[in-house]
């Protein structure tokens, strides 16, 4: 089929025709004396048959005072108040009435079913607020009421182990509260007295989850203490590191356990010809006698064949014990046991 060409001389006429086409009904300003179509309401208030000014007066009478009321949050026995002024909440009844007018200019609603009420159009109210002010209000309540949960923990010193019990915390859902406050500011049908939930925050660690075994090593007195349920159950004499090879200080934990441990000899001058080699467990050349209770960075508790060194600074960083003592300790110390060295 050949294409139909429009003469160039017709283009101005087409532009004039387009310019004279009627604008959408909702885009036309209210006409003098024009009334809102039947079946139209705003925020639930019937404004059908009214002019924009009449509808605005009716809406202002119905909701103007209500939308200026304060919003109150009641929680934990306290009242927190947000005024409409601080929230910058405004209601524009004229704009709302125009919405109703424009909505009524559309196509008429479909015919109702026999015996049913005629369907209508309900437009939202032109009510707005400052969201940032509402968020600040909710955040202020959250800061006032929030209390972090406290985990149970062990307070360990060289001579004493004490339990700090856990405690539940509390919190509110600030984002939800802000949403509820904002909705109440814009909707006169919603309550303006809110009761946000005060949530309980559970601790992650309770007393029942704390270690029941603790080791402390007091280097100044060459004393190892074994605690069970926060009480000293046994004390042992030990040897600690030489001044040039000090035993580290601080809080550690048992990370490994071995019977007749293999000795991976450090590649250090003090190790002599054994430096960098491996000595099998139970060997006469192996200074790690009977048991190994690893702590950190190659440092651990082990038995020694040099009983005379107990009570002195004699090791290269490890904690030495009599063989019988380390065997007894080994049985009572699980992996994960806290170790405090001071």
Q: What would the two tokens of residue 295 be?
A: 């702590």
Question: Contact at 8 Å (CB) between 150 and 156?
Answer: no
Catalytic residue among 10, 302, 316, 322: 302
Confirm whether 302 is a catalytic residue. yes
Query: Please, what is the end-to-end C-alpha distance for the chain in angstroms?
Result: 100
Active-site hit among 9, 189, 318, 322 = 318
For residue 151, the SS3 value is coil
Task: Please report where in the chains the tokens 């406290």 appear, as a residue.
Answer: 150
Per the CB < 8 A criterion, the answer to whether 301 and 318 are in contact is yes
322 is catalytic: no
CA-nearest of 337, 299, 333 to 319 is 299
CA angle 247, 253, 256 (to 5 degrees): 95
Pick the closest to residue 155 from 232, 224, 253, 251 (CA basis): 251
Report residue 312: phi and psi, to 5°: -135, 175
**d(C-alpha 157, C-alpha 137), whole Å:** 45
Contact predicate 171/196, CB 8 Å: no
What is the C-alpha separation between 61 and 51, in angstroms, rounded?
A: 15
Active site residues: 302, 318
């Amino acid at each position: 089929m050949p294409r139909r060409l429009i003469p160039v001389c017709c283009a101005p006429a087409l532009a004039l025709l387009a310019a004279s086409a009627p604008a959408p009904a909702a885009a036309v300003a209210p006409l003098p004396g024009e009334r809102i179509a039947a079946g139209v309401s705003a925020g639930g208030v019937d404004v059908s048959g009214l002019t924009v000014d009449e509808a605005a007066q009716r809406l202002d009478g119905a909701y103007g005072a209500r939308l200026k009321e304060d919003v109150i949050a009641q929680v934990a026995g306290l009242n927190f108040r947000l005024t409409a002024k601080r929230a910058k909440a405004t209601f524009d009844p004229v704009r709302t009435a125009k919405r109703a007018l424009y909505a009524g200019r559309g196509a008429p609603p479909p015919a109702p079913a026999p015996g049913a009420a005629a369907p209508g159009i309900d437009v939202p109210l032109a009510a707005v607020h400052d969201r940032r002010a509402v968020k600040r209000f909710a955040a202020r309540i959250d800061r006032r009421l929030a209390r972090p949960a406290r985990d149970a923990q062990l307070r360990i010193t060289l001579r004493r182990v004490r339990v700090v019990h856990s405690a539940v915390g509390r919190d509110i859902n600030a984002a939800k509260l802000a949403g509820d406050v904002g909705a109440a500011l814009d909707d006169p049908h919603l309550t303006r007295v809110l009761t946000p939930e005060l949530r309980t925050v559970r601790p992650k660690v309770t007393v029942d989850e704390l270690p029941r075994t603790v080791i402390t090593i007091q280097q100044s007195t060459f004393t190892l203490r074994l605690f069970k349920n926060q009480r000293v159950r046994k004390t042992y004499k030990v040897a600690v590191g030489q001044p040039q090879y000090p035993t580290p200080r601080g809080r550690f934990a048992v990370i490994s356990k071995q019977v007749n441990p293999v000795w991976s000899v450090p590649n250090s001058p003090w190790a002599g010809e054994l430096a960098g080699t491996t000595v099998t467990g139970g060997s006469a050349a192996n200074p790690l006698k009977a048991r190994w209770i690893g702590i950190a960075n190659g440092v651990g508790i082990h038995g020694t064949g040099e009983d005379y060194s107990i009570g002195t600074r004699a090791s290269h960083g490890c904690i030495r014990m009599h063989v019988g003592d380390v065997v007894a300790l080994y049985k009572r110390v699980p992996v994960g046991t806290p170790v405090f060295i001071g």
